[in-house]
């Protein structure tokens, strides 16, 4: 619940980023020894929905324990989101590019929204 005058602040991965990740798998460095993380992204076939799979391996003595997490993320266009915000009582909507106070460019990795509840 956001009271009138309150703000909603969030970010999205734009469609271009999710499309570029489709089919990729990547190991990621862990912040401490004894942990290894790998992730992959795949188009689910449902319009604009991508599945992220993350495998975390933790060393347990001489063996590794594997935990898997998966989730889906939908790609939304900024104009669609702006329209829904307005429709549901938000105004003064600002949209920013990644780590910038400028409008998002065509190849942004993240897009940030700030909207005031009217």
Q: Work out the number of other CB atoms within 10 angstroms of the CB of residue 5.
A: 8
pLDDT at residue 71 is higher than 70:
yes
Who contacts 33 (Cβ-Cβ below 8 Å, separation ≥6)? 59
Burial of 115 (0-12, 13-18, 19+ CB in 10 A): buried
- Predicted confidence band at 27 (pLDDT cuts at 50, 70, 90)? confident
Which residues face 114 on adjacent strands?
9, 94
Q: Which of 54-58, 73-77, 88-92 is predicted most confidently?
A: 88-92
In this structure, of 5-9, 100-104, 111-115, the range with the lowest mean pLDDT score is: 100-104
Query: What pLDDT does residue 24 have?
Result: 87
Which residues face 34 on adjacent strands?
none
- Cβ–Cβ under 8 Å, residues 14 and 20: no
- Predicted confidence band at 89 (pLDDT cuts at 50, 70, 90)? very high
CA distance 32 to 110: 27
- Predicted confidence band at 31 (pLDDT cuts at 50, 70, 90)? low
pLDDT at residue 29 is higher than 70:
no
């Amino acid at each position: 619940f956001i009271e009138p005058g309150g703000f909603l602040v969030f970010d999205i991965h734009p469609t271009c980023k999710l499309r570029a990740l489709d089919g990729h798998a990547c190991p990621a460095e862990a912040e401490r020894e004894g942990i290894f993380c790998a992730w992959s992204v795949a188009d689910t076939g449902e319009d604009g929905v991508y599945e992220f799979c993350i495998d975390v391996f933790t060393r347990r003595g001489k063996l590794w324990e594997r935990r898997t997490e998966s989730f889906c993320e939908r790609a939304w266009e900024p104009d669609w989101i702006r329209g829904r915000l307005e429709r549901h009582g938000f105004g003064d909507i600002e949209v920013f590019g990644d780590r910038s106070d400028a409008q998002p460019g065509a190849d942004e990795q993240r897009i940030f929204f700030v909207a005031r509840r009217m």
